[in-house]
Structure 1
Amino acid sequence: SDALDLDPIFSQDGKFIYYSSAINGSFDLWKLNLSTLESTILTDDDSLERLPVPTNQGDYIVYLHKYDFSYDAIKLLDIAKGTSSFLIEENFVSQAAFTLAPDNKTLAYTWVNGDDYELHLLNIFIPKSKMLLTKSNGLPLSPKFSYDGAWVYYTENNKNETSELKRISVYGGSPEELTVKKWDWGTATGKLKITSLVDGKTEAVRMSITDENGHPIIPESGVIHSEGQNGIVFFYSPGEVEIEAPLGNLTITAVHGFSTPKKVQEVTLESSSTTTEIKLNRIWNAKQNGWYSSDNHFHLNYGGTNQLDPEDIRLDLIAEELDIAFPLIANLGNRFLEQNLLSWQNDGFPIISFGQEVRSHFLGHLNLIGTKEVYWPWVWGPYYDIYGADDRLNAEPLRFARKKGGLGGYVHPVSVRDPFKQGNARYVPISLTADVVLGEVDMLEVGCLWTDEIGTANLWHEFLNLGIPVALSAGSDVMNDLYRTMAIGATRVYVKPEGEFSLESYLDALKKGKSFVSNAPQILFSIDDKEVGDVIKSNKQKAKWKLTVHSPVNYEQVEIFVNGKVVWSKKSKSGTSETYTGTIKIPEGGWVTARVSGTKSEWPMMDSFIFAESSPIWIKEIGSTMPGNKVSAAEKLLEILKVSEQRLNKGYGENKIPDLEANFSKAKEKLVLIVSENK
């Protein structure tokens, strides 16, 4: 068909093919008659049905069902009756998989248990009774019965993050590993040892290698990722790595964080053993100039095919030139993952400090960093099965973070370019505007892979115009245990702390706005020698500004904003390092920021467009504004708040929410007062 058609499986007599198709808009199960080539629809739920496995008579089908956004189920379809029944279901079981035994009644399936997965058995006609077959080492995946039903084969990643083939008797016992004695490439191969040099010194790098056919070449151990923006399979080299590959031409691509442009190098592998060097040069060394970078929002393990330990990402951070990282412990509605890691912290650098993501999904997701205690509950609000009617403010965990010496803010907030356009207010988290107006929010994730940085910055500008110095933040929100994912730090924030770099000095600099966010360009902005986070106290009507851009990719535009309005811009096709200067009029109050942007995405970046913006340089005092800008911001935010309140009331329905309603009323009263006092 013209739609996606997936999962073809023959009937046992070979007369039919069962498959999944999106031809009707959602994925449904279909049956194709191979004699007539006629297709018949078997399910028509407005959800996702996949992997149809028929019994020998074709009277029943076992299949995977994903529905209501986050629920996963294995179900049994009775063909004659046209009805389906649940065999098992749970929230967020991303690695769910099953296999039907030759007896046409015994099902072996991979299912979640807390942080781990397990292999279970059940009788599809008596599904209430389920039996644990093995926990293995905690992540047994992709089960398949042997032809005689005596064994269940499965894969599992080891501590080196390499998948292993295992099997276990259907009657239980200890799993057996099936080792590969020899890999047959079908052609002559050789070993290539690659040394990566940055400024002449051996350094860890992000690397991708392909052969003459474009096929990825990977090392024998370590995590492998495939990033979707550029379609590149990559891994990390600690500085020296050896790979086996077919003899012939190989293409090596390497980067070192945002400090080097990508280096592409052709190598010919002609013998059984070859060595080569790939040399990269920094365009700017942030750390030597007092700047340190961080990813404030990503996840170590979140439903992927690896089970990573904190030490497993140290190489990633070094290769990406990240100085501090905040993997967030996460929840999946009714499972609260890796709670023990919140108190974990490494010695030395890069600093790894676990934070917490509070997914009050309806009101907006939050990240709490710099804390060592879990905030409870992690979830509440409409559409959750438990705590769905809780009258609880997002401000509560935000206050909790402050009380514990950390910072709290909203993550991946705005997914559209203009949140103030008619109809776009629904893309702003419901509680965000009220919480910012009432001073509850420490930071806002302006830089994030999954939202629109310019759209989020447009909203952030209005918060600044209101006189509320919400700090810039950035987080990639990658799930690092997944194969298909971006790099940690693909969006990040740079800060310039006072004194020695530490967790505490980082948080202090982040809060004070001595920072910029970026998905590739590194920007240094100053006005009359005042840097970001500082205050211009001079009464001069004009001031000189300076913007230096160190970019590993070619950007297209540079802009200077005063109170949210572009006062200077320049088109550019520049990469590497460039300095811009100029003079701007200084109003009586407000703020100034600088932005770099562009449309082309290439390594080292993995975002959809180029973006970097500085924190504000304030005029007269931090939080200063101009009356006209303040009124305009308040009026715009009142419209956002109006839509948010409508969504709030619709979501909670008949449930009583006096605390939430009072919170919105306070925010509305404050905005109305701002308008009346400044007009």
Structure 2
Amino acid sequence: MIRSFAAAILLAFALAIPVNAQDQAQSEPQPGREPVLRQVDVPHNYYWREMYIPQLTSGASSLSWSPDGSALVYSMQGSLWRQDIASGEAFQLTAGPGYDYQPDWSPDGSTIIFSRYDEDAIELWTLDVASGAARRLTSNGGVNLEARWSPSGDRIAFVSTFATGRFRIFTAAMDGGAFEPVQFSPERESAISRYYYSTFDHELSPSWSPDGSEIIYVTNPETGYGTGSLWRRAVAGGEPQLVREEETSWRARPDWGPGGSRIIWSSYAGRQWHQLWIVNAAGGLPIPLTYGDFDIFSPRWSPDGRHIAFVSNESGDGRIEILDLPGGARRELAISAPVYLHDVGTLALTLTDEDGRPVAARISVTGSDGRSYAPETAMIHADDNFDRADRAQEQRYFHANGHAGITLPVGPAEVTVWRGLEHAVEHRTVDIRPGPATRLTVQMQPITLPGFDAWQSADVHVHMNYGGSYRMTPERMVAQAAAEDLDIVFNTLVNKEQRIPDIEYAGTQPDPASTADTLLVPAQEFHTSVWGHLGLLGLTSHFLLPDYSSYPGTGLFSLFPDNPTIADLAHQQGAVVGYVHPFDPGAEANTYSTHQVPVDAALGNMDYYETVGFADFHTSADIWYRLLNLGFRISAAGGTDAMANYASLRGPVGLNRTYVLPGELAEGPSPVERRDAWIAGLRAGRSIATNAPLLVFDLNGEGPGGDISLPAEGGELEWTAAMISLARVDHVEIIHNGQVAATLTLDADGKFAAARGTIPISESGWILLRAWSSEDQPEVLDLYPYGTTSPVYVSVDGKPARSEEDRQYMLTWIDLIEQHARTSEDYNDAAERETVLGNIARARAVYEAMR
């Protein structure tokens, strides 16, 4: 139980330890969290893992026809299921261990091959249809996917990373002898540089021609921007033939039609969502076959070529539909009666607040078999990293509004419940039995600090739809945010390849789906692989176009518009501008990248900075501290970069959040007034960025964003600080001009600290409170717990803060930025070049004037 604030603060007042900055030896965190499927050596795992690797979902994710066309086998809830297309009865074929995906039915009907995710790898398995016996086919420790039988049934083609860590196609004989994969084509390295992809080409999604002589697949030779196009190549070897050039975005899954003349695949082709397209196998002009503002994927021709089965996320999660050709009639393959392999029971879960009222929350349920379970209609999400010392696989969870019913195996089940950062994490064990539902009520217990209820929370960096498995709607987004006890969600619209998935929600008003408790607010992220990404909050006129620049090989290859230009346009609309997910570990050693952080800081363009976000917190803070040391006033912000329609989520929404003290509001404020007050508070620096620690800091009566003026001789300032956290931390520190000035003593469980003290001031600068852990903690799905206030600014004799070391650091950085901008030929005209160089020159002049 959390001790009372008053008792704790009295105890801790005497225990604050002033530390001389010269003597402070700070230990950097040693997080144990690593990416899921770390053996894959391909950049940007948050793209390929979600959009290519199969995911645990409540709905279907992939399917295959039986040879006679009467039934489908499909993956759902991590198991394989079989269902006659004329029946609502579905039979579970596998139930682990692990999670089973991507089934393919052999031509003779005897065997189903599939991929099983277990033991930190994805291996190929076969299932004997008659006996139900499963047999492991590969044991290479890699990621083995998309196995497809040849038409004769004597070979398979599949994708594997076992040889190089990259996705390559292999073929292998299935004659009962030794399983010996043969690489489909030679390894190839493209001569061009690629931002999102390895310099080595990859191969994805093989599908055999009806005569078994060729394979159509996705690959990306000399493609600087994109996952690749559709190609075909003879199995015996030879040069590949281009069938369709486009950005396939990991999701194409081409399927060669039974007659051999047509290929169907999933494509967004100039739209925002993936639909089915069809093209001649020899190439030519493709045409769309389906239409809609949702995704259709994993298409498969029926054996007679008269039907196409596919998965759709129109209802949010995956559902199977069958399309008739010709005619276009569509029908859902609905399940009315699931038949399970083993005994199951039902968990009836109720979530309440401290007063016993139903309340929304985030839930993780692990069954007696070690697998994760969720309601049939829930969106299951999975952590993108995990600590293998804590658990065998990544954490999976779902959101529920007060009640949830879950079918899972009989036996003991583990239940974990979160509700944002202002409630303790609750753990329960419950025994599931067959028959009547097992009932469990979990009451959420608040954790808070005096006065903290006036602060309003927001996630400043969320992508509602970003090419993921699910189809999010504003209503679903608001419901998830409510379960995370989040007051505001900024949906930062941005491109995914050539499209902007949420462009229909661009606007200047909070979304109509907003509630009295939770606002959904449109915002924008400006994308460039050169200058660094910007968040634009509170645009009052229009969405800025183009939404991205510096994309090689496209019509938006130019370095213009640069970030200062975009920031100026956003400020003209009254927005606040911030740098998002700024720096990863190691950036301090080679920070001299082309990120325009020092340029926009000097030009007054940077209102906030994601000190807590999709980056390393200490590395990002080091750069922020250098800017603060030069007198720039930049607010701390927390933004998750959540991709909310991902199943393998960077999140959940609100994982990284910003608390703002918005100031006085009229009674019953409108959504616009609430948004504007929050943004005004962020602009003024009344903010806290955190993923766990809640912080209260007062310096001579001023909180974060405040100003204190001292005479020329300086003075001594009194501070009061407190921290409470749902996860253990081991450092709570007062930071003065980038150095630790005092530490607070933590209680026994590392979740509470409070103290007061004094700090001598002799020069202008800033002071803030931060808390962090040197290790990752299982309650927080992030690198490690970390929280920081924005600074209180202190002026001595009216002089600005200055640091010669940091001034030289920024000037050296600007030298590299200018060198890149000056030597690059990536401009449309001379005026663009001069504008970019002019912005850099203006920033340089600011630093040079700081002598």
Same fold (TM over 0.5): yes
Offset at residue 538 of structure 1 (A): 4.5
**1:107 partner SS:** strand
5 Å matches for 1:418-567?
418-419=587-588, 421=589, 423-426=590-593, 429-448=594-613, 450-485=614-649, 486-500=651-665, 502-539=674-711, 541-567=715-741
| DSSP 3-state at the match of 2:628 | helix
Residue 528 of structure 2 is matched in structure 1 by 360
Give the secondary structure class of the aligned counterpart of 1:648.
helix
Alignment of 1:115-514 (within 5 A): 115-125=272-282, 127-135=283-291, 138-159=294-315, 161-200=316-355, 201-230=357-386, 231-270=394-433, 271-284=435-448, 289-343=453-507, 344-345=509-510, 346=512, 347=514, 348-372=516-540, 373-381=542-550, 383=552, 385-389=554-558, 391-419=560-588, 421=589, 423-426=590-593, 429-448=594-613, 450-485=614-649, 486-500=651-665, 502-514=674-686
Letter in 1 for 2:618: I
3-state SS of paired residue (2:338):
coil
Residue 530 of structure 1 aligns to a residue whose secondary structure is coil
**Matched letter for residue 401 of structure 1:** A
Cα distance 1:275–1:519, how it changes in 2: closer, same or farther (>3 A)? same
Q: Hey, what's the Cα distance between the residues in 2 that align with 1:594 and 1:606? A: 23
How far is the alpha carbon of 1:221 from its aligned partner?
1.4
CA shift in 2, pair 1:73/1:621, >3 Å? farther
Contact 1:515 1:614 in 2 (8 A): yes
Alignment match of 2:816 (pick from 640, 643, 648): 643
Secondary structure of the residue aligned to 2:278 is strand
Following TM superposition, by how much is the alpha carbon of 1:350 offset from its aligned partner in structure 2, in angstroms? 0.9
SS for the counterpart of 1:71 is: coil
Distance 1:525 1:391, change over 3 A: same
For residue 506 of structure 2, give the secondary structure of its aligned residue in structure 1: helix
Structure number with the higher strand fraction is 1
Q: Deviations over 1:74-116 (max 9, x none)?
A: 2212445622233234346243222222223321211114222
Q: Take 1:97 and 1:466, find their aligned partners in 2: how far apart are those partners?
A: 53
Which secondary structure state, in structure 1, belongs to the residue aligned with residue 372 of structure 2? coil
- The match for 2:246 is 90
How far did residue 288 of structure 1 move?
5.9
Alpha-carbon contact 1:91-1:332 (below 8 Å) kept: no
1:42 matched to 2:185: yes
| Shift in Å, 1:2 | 6.6
Say whether the 8 Å CA contact 1:258–1:604 is kept in structure 2. no
Aligned to 1:28: 168
Distance 1:305 1:285, change over 3 A: farther
Deviation at 1:237, TM superposition (A): 1.4
Offset, 1:12: 2.9
Q: In structure 1, give the amino acid aligned to 2:602.
A: V
Q: What is residue 127 of structure 2 aligned with on the other side?
A: none
Distance 1:216 1:169, change over 3 A: same
Amino acid paired to 2:655:
A
- Larger CA deviation: 388-397 vs 615-624: 615-624
- Give the conservation status (yes or no) of the 8 Å contact 1:560–1:567: yes
2: CA distance between counterparts of 1:210 and 1:26? 32
Is the contact between residue 462 and residue 490 of structure 2 (CA under 8 Å) also seen in structure 1? yes
CA distance change for structure 1 residues 111 and 259 in 2, over 3 Å: closer, same or farther? same
Aligned to 1:54: 208
Q: Distance in 2 between matches of 1:492 and 1:436?
A: 22
Distance 2:243 2:718 in 1: 69
Query: Per the alignment, in what secondary structure is the counterpart of residue 354 of structure 1?
Result: strand
Checking the alignment, whether the CA contact within 8 Å between 2:583 and 2:619 is kept in structure 1 is yes
Which moved further from structure 2: 130-139 or 165-174? 130-139
SS in 2 for 1:640: helix
Give the corresponding residue for 1:619: 794
Deviation at 1:65, TM superposition (A): 2.2
Offset at 1:15?
4.1
Q: For residues 103 and 621 of structure 1, what CA distance do their matches in structure 2 show?
A: 82
TM-score (norm 1): 0.92
Q: Calculate the aligned-residue CA RMSD, in Å.
A: 2.5
When residues 621 and 291 of structure 1 are mapped into structure 2, their CA distance, relative to the original with a 3 A threshold, is farther
Partner amino acid, structure 2, of 1:445: E
Conserved 8 A contact 1:560-1:593: yes
Q: CA deviation at 1:308?
A: 1.6
Percentage identity across paired residues of the two chains: 22
Of 47-56 and 456-465, deviating more is 47-56
Say if 1:252 and 1:40 are closer, same or farther in 2 by CA, change over 3 A. closer
| AA in 2 matched with 1:508 | A
2:236 and 2:438 map into 1 onto residues whose CA distance is 63
- Bigger shift: 114-123 or 461-470? 114-123
DSSP 3-state at the match of 1:234: strand
* TM-score, normalised via structure 2 length: 0.74
User: For residues 438-471 of structure 1, what are the alpha-carbon distances to aligned partners after superposition, in whole Å with 9 as ceiling and x for unaligned?
Assistant: 21222212211x2111111111111111111022
SS of 1:328's partner is: strand
> Could you tell which deviates more after superposition, 146-155 or 337-346?
337-346
In structure 1, stretches of 5+ residues that fail to align are none
Matched pairs, number = 666
The whole-number CA distance in structure 2 between the counterparts of 1:38 and 1:605 is 41
Alignment-derived partner of residue 52 in structure 2: none
- Report the AA paired with residue 441 of structure 1: M
Indicate the residue corresponding to 2:844 in structure 1. 668
